Structures are given as structure tokens and as C-alpha cells.
Structure 1
Amino acid sequence: MHRTFLVILAMVSLLSLCSCQSALQPHNADQPVAQVEQPKAASSYQEFDDILIPNEFEFVRKQSFVMETPAFKTGMVTYKGRVNAVDAANFFERNMIRDNWHLRSKMKYNRTIMVFEKPDRDCIVNILDGTFDTVVEIIVAPRQDGGYSPAPVSSKGRSPLEENLDN
């Protein structure tokens, strides 16, 4: 048993010596240089090219859908990760504004819901603070009115999109 231990120790020492020797030898121009891995960016654009997603979030395919035509891209994408919900809300608010989204409204506490708009579409960012994970749902839809103007009000003082409850 003692002899087996000595043989294993000798082999480990020999392997260590070989790896040290190769590290100390100068680089030969014919040999490829090992690529140094670049650190990952802290965030990236994923499904929508103007909505930045922190890399700490993982895409949840089963809770997402995207429809794309030559004219627009719409859908709902879901992400989850072990991220502080307040930090996530601050990230989205700051970066959506940087990407020329206009913040229309914000609700917070048990969950955070932020509504953003651009001239041609709206975006809702819904952040749910769970026990173990934070879930982010991003919903993008084309605008019906094509701009920032509020919906017209009928002569009865109701929006044309409001249900008729006078039955």
C-alpha cells in the first residue's frame, strides 16, 4: 500500500513538472495562441433590439412567444433569475429610457409594472419578486393610434375603446 502511494505521488509530481515546463517554454510561431476568454457583458439585447436584458436572467421559452412580420415584432418574453427585484426595476427604467423609450407610468411594491412607449409601439415590463427568483415579463405590442396622442373621447365622455355597459 505504501508503495502504491509512492508511485501515485511520483506520477503526480512528474505531470506537474511537465506542465510547468511547457508553460515556461517560449511560444513557437507555428503553434496557435490560446484565445483569452473575454468577460461576458453585464447585459445584452435578445429578442428585441432596443430592450436590454441583464445577463443574470435566463430566458423562459415555455412562457414566451414572439411574432415577427416585415413591419413589426411583437410578443411576450419571460426571464427569471436570482436578482433583486428593485435592482431589476432600476435597470429596466434606466436602460429603457437610454434606448429612447418614454416612461408613461410605474406601479411598485409587491410587483413593479412599468409602461413605456415609442411612437410605433408600447412595452410593459412586469417584475414579480418571488421567494427564490425574480420573474420579468416583457410585453411589446404595436400602437393602435400610431403616436403619443390620447384616445379620442366620444360626446358621452367615454373612450371609444370602453365597453358599453348601458344595457
Structure 2
Amino acid sequence: MKRIEHIKLYTVGEVVEILNADFNHQTTSPVLCRKITMLTAYVIYNKSRYIPEDIIGDLIVSIRKREIRFKTEKIIAKKLESIKNFIKVYEQKHKQPSSTKEINNINTNEILEAIIQLKEEIIQLKEEIQKMRKQEQEELKEKNKEITEPKEMMQKK
């Protein structure tokens, strides 16, 4: 459940439990999800769909008959209109810029730290490889000098 001041928002699984416990209405998540989608009885908040508490009671109705479905859609639309407006105002007041949003997933933070550490290690390894190459080149130059000097001396004699 998410709470936005006085509005409570629930996920589909939570609504199934509420309908079963409070309204004695047996249903499953897929059936309820289909009904919610047909009635557009959800609110999008933080890129996720939630069902407001005020609408849960309206989800008991059977939507097989068109007349009942249309009436239920109108009732839900009226309730959702005020809720959506309130959420928009709330989001504008409490809006966080996308660059400063915190990632709540601990695993993601650990992965990011590991990636940063690996990048640093790669940079260090590249530097070591460059140093080794320079040393090898210097050693080759010295050996070439050692070889060419005696050859030159032999040619002079």
C-alpha cells in the first residue's frame, strides 16, 4: 500500500486480499486485473498502476452486462477524476528531478559500486601493461645495442 496524504493506493494482490477479507468476494489476481483494466479503475503513480481505496468496493460488481459495466465505469471515472487531480498536484509539489532520484534497490547500489571498482582496476591494469611494454622496448633497445656494437667492431677490424 502506498499512501499519498489521505489517499491509499493498493496493488492488485492487496486488493484481492481486501475483497476476500472485507467484502467476502472470492477472486484471483488475473481476473481482477482484467476487470480493473476494462473499467480503467487504476491510477498510475511512479510508473506503476495502483487501485485507490475508494474504488475497491466498486470492483465487486459483475461487468458481464453492458448497462451495469457502463454505470460502473461512470461511477469509477468520477471518483478517479478527483484522485488523479490530487495526485498531479501532489507530484508537482513533491517532484524530484530525475537526476537526483534515489535508487531504492540495494542490489543496484551494490552493482554500481562493483562496476566502479572494476573500472578503477581496469585503469590500473592498463597502466601496468603500458609500463611493462615500455620496459620491454627499453630492454630490446639495449639488447640491440649490445648486438650491434660487437658487429660494428668486428666489421671495423
Taking structure 2 as the reference length, what is the TM-score of the superposition? 0.24
Work out which of the two has the higher radius of gyration on C-alpha atoms and give 1 or 2: 2
More helix by share: 2
Normalized per residue, the structure richer in strand is 1
- TM-score between the two structures when normalised by the length of structure 1: 0.23
Q: Which has the higher relative contact order, 1 or 2, with Cα contacts under 8 A spaced 6 or more apart?
A: 2
